[in-house]
Amino acid sequence: MTVPSAKNPPASRPLLALPWEGGLIGWAVVGGAMLAEVVGGLVTNQMPMAIAAPVLVLPVAVAAGFAAVQWLQVGLSGAERASWWHLTGIALALFVWLVFPTTPGVLTTNSNARAACYSIYTATPGCLSRATQAMDGHHLTWWLTGGLILAAALLARRSRIAAWAAIPLAFAGCLLATHFLQLLLLYYHAVPGPI
């Protein structure tokens, strides 16, 4: 049995590269992000996009920051990689992304701006412009969310946080996508109906 000398103490791994400590911090970060998304989604439901977007994006950005740091620390320290079962977080995020309703009830069957304006009984050029912007924002946000979930899957073997932070990412993306159309309905005082 060899005892490390006082001059050369054993190198300790970074905190996020340790299995227990990194996992505990990861669950705190992801749990906090999920809670922030639920509360943020409820609070900003009818607020302008300038308020809603930062409130919904900030928790995901914090979780992504922790995920990137964990990915770097695990890679640089040569720590053991996360097991494959952590990809369950990516699968759950994809499930949320695909199943979460992002279109308010009045606009559910509409596939273009003209149909949306007819649904809210306002087929004017101003409505067409607003509806086009709202639908473009909705589609862009929804597809970018899917791309970010797949990017998190690439980080999942070195970062457990990245794998599980994809779930609040999916909620944030779906809430933001819904918010574009919700604001259109609020502008024209249409009843959003059940989502």
pLDDT interval class at 105 (50, 70, 90):
confident
At 192, is the pLDDT very low, low, confident or very high (cuts 50, 70, 90)? low
The HSE-up count of residue 136 (CA atoms within 13 Å, CB side) is 6
Distance in angstroms (rounded) separating the CA atoms of residues 129 and 133: 6
Distant-in-sequence contacts of 42-50, Cβ < 8 A, 24+ apart: 44/179, 45/179, 45/182, 46/182, 46/186, 48/183, 49/179, 49/180, 49/183
Average pLDDT over residues 105-115: 80
Contact 33, 175 (CB under 8 A): no
Question: Averaged over 94-100, what is the pLDDT?
Answer: 96
Q: Are 162 and 67 in contact (CB under 8 A)?
A: yes
pLDDT of 113 > 90? The answer is no
User: Is residue 152 a contact partner of residue 165, using CB atoms and an 8 Å limit?
Assistant: yes
Top-confidence residue, 156 or 9: 156
C-alpha distances out from residue 9 to 3, 55, 78, Å = 10, 44, 18
Tokens matching residue 53: 């977007």
